[in-house]
Structure 1
Amino acid sequence: MPITDEELIAAAAQALNPRQLADGSWVADVGAALEAVDGQIFTGASIGGYLAVCAEQSAFTQLVSTTSPRIRRVVAVWRDPADGVLHVLPPCGRCREFMRVLDQANLDAQVILGPDHTRSLAELLPLPGWHAEAVERSRG
């Protein structure tokens, strides 16, 4: 039986383990969960600093080592340390492109943007794929 969006958000929250490194960057302050097309759930946490690894990418490393890189849903979360409120975060542009490149079928995956708010990855990626317009005419 498939899990709900709320349960996937809770799985992402379980990946949170925030702590600050000596250089001031954060580790595990963003958590992600994704559902593979076969129903398996994978989670990951962010690694900050100048060599950043996003939480979504961390979850994808588990996914691709276990099954296909195709996903059904994905969500990332962050808990505000000031008030403890959990927030759903949209994937950054790099993660959106990362998901598309791993499998074009991921354009149909649902990205959870809030408790009652989802969009397909394609809707969050304008002009997915190669787009090039000629600036000059053919010189032939």
Structure 2
Amino acid sequence: MARNITGEKRLNDFVQIAGVGAALETADGNIYTGISIDTACSMGFCAEHSAIAEMLKHGEYKIKAIVAVNDNGQAIPPCGRCRELISQLSSSNLHTIIEVKDGIRVPLSELLPYDWKEPSGPVW
């Protein structure tokens, strides 16, 4: 599904969309998708954020699995901002399966091994 919505489009000299597409499955089995919005002054956001916003709009916040793909259709890992957003929505999202590369899937907890919100995380 993420590949079907990906295909970079230039809106003007300042904005490009859909260079990355994302699809997520919620704990309830619903699928939500989103595209990236890239702007000249960094006001855009990631495809994962777009898909998450769509999910939240429908009252869900627990993510079973998520994938983002680039313009070539290859799976890419989420940035740190996306990882953090997923983890803050629900502690159960640390079990979210993320495809970080084509065919390689790991739980979010492996991408955030020292989550600051967990008691076993680092002591500052």
- Which range, TM-score by smaller chain? 0.7 to 0.9
State the 1:68 CA deviation: 1.9
- State the alpha-carbon separation in 2 of the partners of residues 14 and 90 from structure 1: 18
For 2:44, which of 52, 63, 83 is the aligned residue?
Answer: 52
Q: Which runs of 5+ in 1 are unaligned?
A: 1-10, 81-85, 134-140
Shifted more, 21-30 versus 32-41: the winner is 21-30
For 1:89, which of 76, 80, 85 is the aligned residue?
Answer: 76
State the 1:129 CA deviation: 2.2
State the 1:92 CA deviation: 0.3
**TM-score after normalising by structure 2:** 0.87
Name the residue aligned to 2:60. 68
Aligned counterparts, 1:34-53, within 5 A = 34-49=24-39, 50-53=42-45
Answering whether residue 94 of structure 2 is matched by residue 107 of structure 1, we say yes
Deviation beyond 6 Å, 4+ runs, structure 1: none
State the 1:125 CA deviation: 1.0
State the 1:102 CA deviation: 1.1
State the 1:51 CA deviation: 0.5
**TM-score after normalising by structure 1:** 0.78
Number of residues of Structure 1 aligned to a counterpart in Structure 2: 118
Question: What SS does the aligned partner of 1:48 have?
Answer: strand
- State the alpha-carbon separation in 2 of the partners of residues 18 and 79 from structure 1: 6
Larger Rg: 1
State the 1:19 CA deviation: 1.0
State the 1:23 CA deviation: 3.0
State the 1:57 CA deviation: 0.4
